[in-house]
Structure 1
Amino acid sequence: MSIRDIIEGKKEWRAHVARIKALPRDYQIVYKEIQKYLFKVGPVELTDWMGGLSGIIDLFEEGAALGKGVLEVTGSDVAAFCDDLIKNLKT
């Protein structure tokens, strides 16, 4: 991995974090819990992580824009929501 790759990765992560901070508070809390869960049992490859995490933020941004509560987006069982996201990925 080159220094350029590291810098690009950091830029992507910072942009990712900025998107999370722009979400309503309840979405941020659930996102952080999802992130913790996925870090424990989630996909092995980083590309799967970033794609999955960005996809969750896309979904959350859309739900927030529609005025939905976060549990309307994920369902009441957030762990089941996570399991469904990673069911076809190598963990």
Structure 2
Amino acid sequence: MSIQDIIEGKKQWRAHVARVKALPPDYQIVYKEMQKYLFKVGPVSLSDGPLLPGILDFFEEGVAEGKGVLELIGTDVAAFCDDLIKDSPTYADAYQEAISGEPGAARK
């Protein structure tokens, strides 16, 4: 990874954060809770994948339609997040494979 890649990544992240800050307060709270949850249990490809920008797009559409955030995702934020990542390998899955000795497990 070059310095230019790091700088570009930071620019993209700052633009993403600015979009989050432009959301109404209730959307911001729920987004930040989702982000915390996904960073803890989320998919391996979370940092460079389309999941967080996709959630932000979904939220922006909800704001434009005048819907409340809980109308979009329901009252169980964790369940909503789990549905989003149900088919994605997570760090927990990779760890389970590594300790169980299953074929295809990453070994160091």
Identity fraction in percent:
75
- Whichever structure has more helix as a proportion of its residues is 1
- Higher relative contact order by CA 8 Å / sep ≥ 6: 1 or 2? 1
Matches within 5 A, 1:1-91: 1-45=1-45, 46-48=47-49, 51-91=50-90
How does the TM-score come out when normalised to structure 1? 0.94
Gaps of 5+ in 1: none
Which amino acid letter does the alignment assign opposite residue 33 of structure 1? E
Larger mean Cα displacement after TM superposition, 73-82 or 39-48? 39-48
Please tell me whether Structure 1 or Structure 2 has the larger radius of gyration of its CA atoms.
2
* SS of residue matched to 2:70: helix
Cα RMSD between the aligned structures?
A: 0.7
How does the TM-score come out when normalised to structure 2? 0.80
